[in-house]
Structure 1
Amino acid sequence: MPAPRTTPRTVLLTGAAGGLGTLMRDLLPAHGYALRLFDVRPVEGAPEAITADLNDTAALREAVDGVDAVLHLAGISLEAPFEKILRSNIEGTYRLYEAAHEAGVARIVSASSNHAVGYTPRPQGAEPLIPVGTPRRPDTLYGLSKAFGEDLAQFYWDKYGMETVSVRIGSCFAEPTTVRMLSVWMSPADGARLFHAALSARGVGHTVVYGSSANTRLWWDLTSARALGYEPQDDSEPFAAKLIAAQGELDPDNEAHAYLGGQFVTDPPIWPY
């Protein structure tokens, strides 16, 4: 049985104007959260949202003041030049942690990524699922920034006792769009369930979990996520036949199919498109 949980009242949602942030703005309130919104871009339909960069210390201090927890989804989510990754994903995340620490925020749930371990070979046949303890093998500068984020979270737990759940997100869309995504897809509803579990479970310290639905073709081990109380309800398999008919099965001799990071290993999409 999962440990008893308490639900934070107010959660700062960074990256609220992004794709995943927009989904969570709609879904998380049903789990009992009042959301304070933060993004470098204006959040459509939310005039009260804080519009600022993560490196704006004054804005961050305003954003974290009085919140119970942070759901950190902001940052660059594709490959980019190092200077942009450094400012947004590394320096920005550090400044968020500093502001949260100074404000006494007890919990951050942070968007890590499967690309922190992207050069891990994907399981084939009867091979075991990839554990959260697998060595980090980033596939891009973006993936490297997510490995930094996990280390930063561990440091703030060890040094200051600030808890973090680092969620190695796969792909969170209404439905999977590639054959690879059948293995790493997280439905938006399951995403909200996982973030709720990560925000509300007791005694997480620094916990790393994989973020996906209970997919039939799953590549990684969801044990640490389930230990938080996460109970995924969805599976990508209903989309499989159509995608395989259009794209074919994964080819183990294709480098983009052989590793967990997929296209990021061979030809990563560049931010911004």
Structure 2
Amino acid sequence: MSAPHPAARTLLLTGASGGVGTLMRSLLPRYGYTLRLLDARPVEGEPDAITADLADRETLREAVRGVDGILHLAGISLEAPFEKILRANIEGTYHLYEAARLEGVSRVVFASSNHAVGYTPAPLDGGSPIPADTPHRPDTFYGLSKCFGEDLAQLYWDKHGLETVSVRIGSCFPEPTSVRMLSIWLSPADAARLFHAALTAEGVGHTVVYGGSANTRAWMDLSGARALGYEPRDDSEPYAADLIAKEGELDPANPAHHHLGGPFLVDPPIWPY
């Protein structure tokens, strides 16, 4: 891809009070963004944040009006009954894209997930990382909603010229909390680097990339993300010894270990993931 264009200045951040959204509120302004915050719940310490559900089309359209880009983190981030996933993650994402189309927003970064391909076998034997073009294999209704979001983004690019980078986030926490997470961890600082690259790279059309750090034990192929200009700097390996001492090594016979989706494949899912 060609050299990045100047950073979008005004960025709508949906899901601003969530885990990743909270982290990005402090990190993204360092890249020159003015954040417009939106969440279904009040955002603590942010009196100007927009409190609205994604079903509120009028408020949503007002929220996207005049922004240079959208980082869409809103929605349910764990497995839930289908009716709840349908309303928040499927219908809500559609409403966001319609608002963006109507207001002429040119770029969305969509928080997809490794759970869109959760039934893909993990390369526990040190094999090649999983490529971003691997077919959808959702592990839950949640993962299914991320498949829908990726396909919706493709439709809006093909039909309306609205560009999206769909980022299949591994696990974005200040530090990895399980042995499995050593292979899919995305540090908050690397997440900000990746989102910035996704917002500023030229000619993305609809591009699907994985969101992970430069982990020694990486399962996900980051070549697509690097093509956007992303250069991860963090590695989960410094946390490995303590986590392995606590949990032991991954067991290929454990269904929570041998697929990319991990504990989402177990019914009911087990946490932490």
Would you say same fold, with TM above 0.5?
yes
Conservation of the 8 A alpha-carbon contact between 2:124 and 2:258: no
Q: Which residue of 2 aligns with 1:187?
A: 187
Distance 2:181 2:134 in 1: 20
Q: In the aligned structure 1, how far is the partner of 2:205 from the partner of 2:56?
A: 27
Aligned residues: 271
Amino acid aligned to 2:26: D
Structure 1 match to 2:209: 209
How much does 1:255 deviate?
1.0
Q: In structure 1, how many angstroms separate the alpha carbons of the residues matched to 2:212 and 2:175?
A: 12
Cα 1:268/1:74, change in 2 over 3 Å: farther
Question: Corresponding residue for 1:104?
Answer: 104
Q: Post-superposition, which runs of at least 4 consecutive aligned residues in structure 1 deviate over 6 A?
A: none
Alpha-carbon shift at residue 2 of structure 1 (Å): 5.6
Residue in structure 1 matched with residue 141 of structure 2 by the alignment: 141
Q: Which residue matches 1:55?
A: 55
Aligned mates of 1:106, 1:185 — CA distance in 2: 29
1:74-125 Cα distance to aligned partner (Å, 9 max, x none) = 0000000111000000000000000000000000000000000000000132
- Rounded to whole Å, the distance in 2 between the matches of 1:126 and 1:269 is 26
Q: Structure 1: how far apart are the matches of 2:122 and 2:81?
A: 27
CA distance in structure 2 between the partners assigned to 1:221 and 1:6 by the alignment: 27
Indicate the SS of the match to 1:112: strand
Amino acid at match of 2:238: P
Cα deviation code 1:238-265 (max 9, x no counterpart): 0000000000000001111110000001
SS at match of 1:214: coil
Structure 1: runs of 5 or more not aligned: none
Q: Which residue of 1 aligns with 2:79?
A: 79
The answer on whether the counterparts of 2:263 and 2:270 sit within 8 Å (CA) in structure 1 is no
User: Please, which moves more after superposition, 247-256 or 259-268?
Assistant: 259-268
Aligned to 1:150: 150
Number of the residue aligned with 1:33: 33
Work out the CA distance in 2 between the residues paired with 1:71 and 1:41.
17
Tell me the residue number matched to 1:220.
220
Q: Aligned with 2:257: secondary structure? A: helix
SS of 2:166 mapped into structure 1: strand
Q: 1:139 is aligned with what amino acid?
A: D
In structure 2, give the amino acid aligned to 1:125: D
CA change 1:187–1:57 in 2 (3 A) is same
3-state SS of the aligned residue for 2:256?
helix
Q: What is the CA deviation profile of residues 33-54 of structure 1, one whole-angstrom value per residue up to 9, with x for unaligned ones?
A: 0000000000001111000000
2: CA distance, partners of 1:270 / 1:85: 18
Query: What secondary structure does 1:221 align onto?
Result: coil
Question: Which residues of structure 2 form unaligned runs of 5+?
Answer: none
Distance 2:34 2:261 in 1: 34
C-alpha contact (below 8 Å) 1:39/1:74 kept by paired residues: yes
Amino acid at match of 1:200: T
- Residue 128 of structure 1, CA deviation: 1.2
Pair 1:270–1:243, CA change in 2 (3 A): closer
Q: Report the residue type matching 2:207 in the other structure.
A: T
Task: Give the TM-score normalised by structure 2.
Answer: 0.97
State the TM-score, normalizing by the size of structure 1: 0.97
Local SS of the residue matching 1:84: helix
Aligned-partner Cα distance in 2 for 1:108–1:270: 31
Corresponding residue of 2:160: 160
Deviates more, 1:106-115 or 1:122-131: 122-131
Contact 1:201 1:229 in 2 (8 A): yes
Q: How big is the shift at 1:6?
A: 1.9
Q: Distance in 2 between matches of 1:156 and 1:194?
A: 22
Matched residue type, 1:42: P
**Structure 1 residues 202 and 268, CA gap change in structure 2 (3 angstroms):** farther
- Give % identity: 74
Q: 8 Å contact 2:119–2:139 — kept in the other structure?
A: yes
> Would you say the 8 A contact 2:7–2:199 is kept in 1?
yes
**Letter of the structure 2 residue corresponding to residue 15 of structure 1:** G
